[in-house]
Amino acid sequence: MPGAQASRARVARRIATAAAYGGGGIGLLGVGVAGVLLTESRLAIRAIGLLEGDPPRADGVYGEAFADPADTRPPVRLLFLGDSTAAGLGVLRGHETPGALLACGLASVAERRVRLHNVAASGARSCDLAGQVRRALPFRPELAVIMVGANDVTRRSPASQAVGLLADAVATLRGAGCEVVVGTCPDLGTIKPVRPPLRWVARRVSRQLAAAQTIAVVEAGGRTVSLGSLLGPEFAARPEMFAADRYHPSAQGYATAAMAMLPSLCAALEVWPEETGRSGPVQGDAVLPVAVAAAAAAGQSGTEVVAVGPEGGRRWAQLRHRLRLGLPGAGASPEPEAASANSHPGAGDAGAT
């Protein structure tokens, strides 16, 4: 295992272990560095301007065109939680949000309608997940997507605390019979307003948190998809992946992330073709100790990590390198039914996602 990956695995395991035992002393950044990073981010984003308004609402039912007319089952209940990347801040239309894109994609693969319920909020951190879960449980979700972590970095949340709260949210959802897919912390090193050397620090810290999140989520019974390493190179090279603030993704950026996550959502519901009737790992995919798998995923594009082995001892995980798919109907408006409003309190602090 390369030296950087081994070091990332050790740090991630220490953070995850501290989270499991209630420790809160392991920070993502030293106080001085974190303060400079936060100040630099706020100054840069203030110079460009914050995005105004709330993310567009997208709750409703998707996929009537894909469903079998003879299928009388109710729609699959899909839940989105987390920060503004889960809510879709940065786009103008509901069908451009990641929730709508993935609801439509899931409906096309499952050939079944999907009902989306989004409780994500701009500025949210891992400490906000418990409240989001409480509000969402009456919805009786079958599949939940969580996207969180960037604000834990920029607002200096203790790493072990953030990871532990994420693990608690996953465990609560799994206890309610809901499958969970977590898009791990994005690569903050791609944010243009943050300049080197702080950009390099942000990248390292983002990957450390993503690896620790992966360990905690897998051991709580969920699965993760690495977004940081996927979005980093593409976002860095393609300015159109960012919204006007050069901080949040644009419609194209969200579509890229959704394409990476769609196969994992389908696999979680066992509607991905290769999952049907299969047991055990797929040939060619790696089965590794959880910490090693988490460290590898943090540096590999679009990698899924899911536990293998007995449910009571999730110490081994499988890395899956899934093919990214185009999203059906991504360029056209889907047909969401009227539904409850999202819980978006606003844009949050400068530098909050």
- 84, 157, 229, 264: which one is catalytic? 84
As a whole number of angstroms, the distance between CA 351 and CA 50 comes to: 9
Query: Are 65 and 328 a contacting pair, CB within 8 Å?
Result: no
Residue 245 bears catalytic tag: yes
Q: Output helix, strand, coil percentages for the chain, rounded to the nearest 5.
A: 45, 15, 40
The answer for residues whose C-beta is within 8 angstroms of residue 353's C-beta and 6 or more apart is 83, 84, 85, 89, 122, 123, 150, 151, 154, 186, 247, 248
- 245, 264, 343, 344: which one is catalytic? 245
Among the listed residues 287, 171, 190, 278, the one whose alpha carbon sits nearest the alpha carbon of residue 239: 190
Residue 41 bears catalytic tag: no
Place of tokens 């953070």: 15
Residue 226 bears catalytic tag: no
Q: What are phi and psi of 68, to 5 degrees?
A: -70, 125
- 325 CB-contact burial (10 Å; exposed 0-12 / middle 13-18 / buried 19+): middle
Q: Which amino acid is at 170?
A: V
Q: Which residues of 57-66 are buried (b: 16+ CB within 10 A; e: fewer)?
A: bbbbbbbeeb
- 83, 248, 343, 344: which one is catalytic? 248
Catalytic residue ranges:
84, 245, 248
